[in-house]
Structure 1
Amino acid sequence: MKKTLLVVVFCLSVIACNAPKKQKDIAINTAQRSYTIENVVEDLSNPWGMTWLPDGSMLITEKSGELVHYKDSIKTEIKNVPEIYNRGQGGLLDIKVHPAYATNGWIYFTYASSEGEGEGGHTKLSRAKLKNGGLTDIEDLYKATPNTTRGQHFGSRIEFDGKGYVYFSIGERGDRDTNPQDKTRDGGKIYRLHDDGRIPDDNPFVSEVGAKKAIYTYGNRNPQGMDQHPDTGEIWIHEHGPKGGDEVNIVKKGRNYGWPIISYGVNYSGTKFTDKTKMEGMKDPIYYWVPSIAPCGMTFVTGDTYPDWKGGLLVGSLKFNYVELLKLDGNKVTERIKVAEDVGRVRNVQQGPDGFIYIAVEGEGIVRVIPTS
């Protein structure tokens, strides 16, 4: 495959936060800096998830159901992928290798599945091994129920905490008034399992009658970004609001993040569905966007490849075709900076094992950001 190199000079400008009363506006700063953007994997339709194998090659999910292995400029489709329920926002979603992949060979992935009762589908977490160009030893770890033909809000991202647990998100499937606040139903939740699929004994609702035992948090809308903080070890997420009210949250055991009872967003028509942004027993976000940027994919910046970004949080914007750098002081956002402006509709952003930032762009492929100064 032919690689092309585009040299782009980005004017890194902080976007004014047109936020309501609680959150302070962030001052506008402007800086000049040069980067190159290199096309890495071309001709992808909707690259949803990406992860790296120990040899530096990539596994990439296409929402339509193809699992792509990319190595030495060659794309190969992996065989024996489970049947995918490809509808609306559902399809083959996130993918992540186990932290001990080099010794155990496990690959984890989420996808919309029609298995189980009822028409339609719901989000499922599975794991498998890769052998001779195909998935083998496939194990189903969790399948949300009930199936529904709605096409919205499947989630879904996967993260490990280094302590033997796997976390994953499932959106509320467009059923905002039922699923997210009801612990007896799947959807609108963050889930935690042992990495072999067992439900931990210390999950917060294992003793609650009727509750889904895998739930770790609830009151979430549609989390499509998840990463582990490199210093604290905490799991961070972001999630879509409706029209406005996208949020960044830190995952805490048993927390209720309030959707749809509290929110900084409104209906897509502009009408209100709640006048509450705060309530006892519900956790405030550490940051929110108004207007919405439609966040998807996120990664903390580590290492010295991008010294000015180190410690910050990169978030893809589906709506505005860029990646946003949130600079942090502890858990407080202090600055917002546009990165890779006009790169396209960003579905994912990850820092690879080589230290470079990779951006998955709908209708294009995967590009890599390389600093030149």
Structure 2
Amino acid sequence: MPWLALLLFFGFALSQPAPSFQLEEVARNLGVPWSLKFAPDGRLFFTQRDRARIGVSALDLSSGRISTYEGEAAVRDEGEGGVMGLELDPGFARNNRLYICYSYWKEGVQNENNRRNRLSSFILSGSRLTDEKILLDDMLGWWNHNGCRVVWGPDNKLYVSMGDAGDAPSNVPGEFGYAAKAQSSRLLAGKIFRLNPDGSIPSDNPFFYQATGAARAIWTLGHRNPQGLAFQPGTGLLWSTEHGPNTRDELNIIRKGKNYGWPRCTGIQPFGTVLTVSADNITFNCTGGDLRESYQPAVREYAGGNEPTIAPSNLLFYTGNAFPQWKGSLFFVTLKTGRLYRLELKGEQIVKEDLLINNQYGRLRDLAVGPDGFIYLSTDQGQILRLRPGNL
């Protein structure tokens, strides 16, 4: 489809004006395009959450043509569940392998005890998505808080986020359900996992020798609903965005074996403190010997106090050349407030924050840097947009 220019404007900066940029619509009527990934040949691959069967689509930016590749697996398409996280294998140009995190009904039975999520690899073969290999299975799901972001690490491992599965009951005898699932070392909910691309679990994972089965894949725990994962070039640090309840959305650095506190701690709350939040009607008792050494508070919290959440989704580090002044900046998008943020970092500290989009396009779900250096965005209104310099 032809490019459709929507708007030319200057980004609003919290500290000083940002460079001018132009937003263009690339595609529309795509359902909920949940995850964006560029292939080596320049095609933009994306998942669509609201699908009844597993599938992935690819947009040819030069022609506007969209190709869809569908597989056999049935999908639990409800609420925030569906076809979500996507990652392409580093060898995708030769092996056509990709990784998808999606929701399903265990044994095909639709009841509240059978909501699950899984991570699988697939092969693009002709016009089909074939050769499913399940890598991490039986992750608890719910109609919300399914996490499911997937990213390839600089250590050649796969990292996948999983929410606390909302009000889902525990599926392990003796373990608590609801939000407490995030603190259990036996439940596959409220975690970030690390595994080899063949589905085996690295023996240097922090709980490999204490846990059993798939729980050995746990990299960190105590998460509510981490919707974003991105490795920072140069440092190898894994950054994440995470939804708070009604306040205190989080920007985190994900460190091996750490506990991010949910549901006992929230945001940047220090260990050893008690925090009562009237907006949530929750008291966060961030204490206890089991957290003393492992607790990791957020780097930054958003909408603190009794202000409403921003609901952050995915993030990235800018590596393109179209905006040289933004090289190395951290960008993330939000759902509830429809925002695009740009953060400048010095080490692990945020030194500047710009607000580039502020709800002009509704809920922003994902973002990716194209081979042209432009920033591509997906919206829950079914659009793919791109952000380019305003002087082009």
Partner of 1:59, secondary structure, is strand
Deviation of residue 200 (structure 1)? 0.7
Partner of 2:94, secondary structure, is helix
Deviation of residue 82 (structure 1)? 2.0
Residues 91/266 of structure 1: CA separation in 2 closer, same or farther (3 Å cut): farther
1:67 and 2:59 are equivalent in the alignment: no
- Paired with 1:238 and 1:250, the residues of 2 have a C-alpha distance of 9
- Paired with 1:51 and 1:354, the residues of 2 have a C-alpha distance of 14
Question: Quick one: which of 301, 316, 336 aligns to 1:288?
Answer: 301
Deviation of residue 277 (structure 1)? 8.9
Partner of 1:355, secondary structure, is coil
Deviation of residue 91 (structure 1)? 0.5
Q: Is the 8 A contact 1:242 1:268 kept in 2?
A: no
- Paired with 1:284 and 1:267, the residues of 2 have a C-alpha distance of 17
Determine the structure 1 residue equivalent to 2:134. 140
Determine the structure 1 residue equivalent to 2:91. 100
Deviation of residue 267 (structure 1)? 6.9
Question: Quick one: which of 28, 53, 62 aligns to 2:39?
Answer: 53
Equivalent position amino acid for 1:41 in 2: A
Determine the structure 2 residue equivalent to 1:274. 284
- Paired with 1:44 and 1:327, the residues of 2 have a C-alpha distance of 32
- Paired with 1:234 and 1:213, the residues of 2 have a C-alpha distance of 21
Question: Quick one: which of 116, 120, 130 aligns to 2:124?
Answer: 130
Determine the structure 1 residue equivalent to 2:204. 202
Residues 209/307 of structure 1: CA separation in 2 closer, same or farther (3 Å cut): closer
Deviations 1:43-65 (A, max 9, x none): 12211011122221122111112
Determine the structure 1 residue equivalent to 2:227. 224
What's the TM-score once normalised by structure 2's chain length? 0.85
- Paired with 2:381 and 2:344, the residues of 1 have a C-alpha distance of 29
Equivalent position amino acid for 1:2 in 2: P
Equivalent position amino acid for 1:59 in 2: F
Question: Quick one: which of 315, 335, 342 aligns to 2:332?
Answer: 315
Deviation of residue 81 (structure 1)? 4.9
- Paired with 1:121 and 1:59, the residues of 2 have a C-alpha distance of 27
Determine the structure 2 residue equivalent to 1:339. 356
Determine the structure 1 residue equivalent to 2:22. 36
Determine the structure 2 residue equivalent to 1:237. 240
Determine the structure 1 residue equivalent to 2:270. none
Q: Is the 8 A contact 1:177 1:260 kept in 2?
A: yes
Equivalent position amino acid for 1:328 in 2: L
Stretches of 4+ aligned residues off by more than 4 angstroms: 265-269
Deviation of residue 192 (structure 1)? 0.4
Q: Is the 8 A contact 1:11 1:30 kept in 2?
A: no
Deviations 1:122-168 (A, max 9, x none): 2210011101111122111011345x5x3110002111113221100
Equivalent position amino acid for 1:354 in 2: D
How much is the aligned-residue C-alpha RMSD, in angstroms?
2.2
Q: Is the 8 A contact 2:313 2:365 kept in 1?
A: yes
- Paired with 1:267 and 1:133, the residues of 2 have a C-alpha distance of 51
Deviation of residue 210 (structure 1)? 4.7
Query: How many pairs were matched up?
Result: 357
- Paired with 1:293 and 1:266, the residues of 2 have a C-alpha distance of 20
Question: Quick one: which of 348, 354, 370 aligns to 2:372?
Answer: 354
Residues 350/268 of structure 1: CA separation in 2 closer, same or farther (3 Å cut): farther
Deviations 1:88-132 (A, max 9, x none): 111000111011212332101100121358743222100111011
Deviations 1:18-38 (A, max 9, x none): xxxxxxxxxxx2416421111
Partner of 2:180, secondary structure, is coil
Deviation of residue 199 (structure 1)? 0.7
Equivalent position amino acid for 1:256 in 2: N
What's the TM-score once normalised by structure 1's chain length? 0.89
Equivalent position amino acid for 1:199 in 2: I
Deviation of residue 336 (structure 1)? 1.7
Structure 2 unpaired stretches of 5+: 168-177, 268-274
Structure 1 unpaired stretches of 5+: 15-28
Deviation of residue 352 (structure 1)? 2.1
- Paired with 2:163 and 2:237, the residues of 1 have a C-alpha distance of 20
Deviation of residue 344 (structure 1)? 2.2
Deviation of residue 41 (structure 1)? 1.8
Residues 288/170 of structure 1: CA separation in 2 closer, same or farther (3 Å cut): same
Deviations 1:169-203 (A, max 9, x none): 01000145321100111100000001111011111
Partner of 1:180, secondary structure, is helix
Residues 223/266 of structure 1: CA separation in 2 closer, same or farther (3 Å cut): farther
- Paired with 1:284 and 1:145, the residues of 2 have a C-alpha distance of 25
- Paired with 2:211 and 2:337, the residues of 1 have a C-alpha distance of 44
Partner of 2:73, secondary structure, is coil
- Paired with 2:193 and 2:350, the residues of 1 have a C-alpha distance of 26
1:298 and 2:315 are equivalent in the alignment: yes
Residues 346/330 of structure 1: CA separation in 2 closer, same or farther (3 Å cut): same
Partner of 2:114, secondary structure, is coil
Deviation of residue 340 (structure 1)? 2.8
Deviation of residue 353 (structure 1)? 2.9
Partner of 2:324, secondary structure, is coil
- Paired with 2:301 and 2:72, the residues of 1 have a C-alpha distance of 36
Determine the structure 1 residue equivalent to 2:114. 120
- Paired with 2:388 and 2:317, the residues of 1 have a C-alpha distance of 16
Partner of 1:61, secondary structure, is strand
Determine the structure 1 residue equivalent to 2:174. none
Determine the structure 2 residue equivalent to 1:23. none
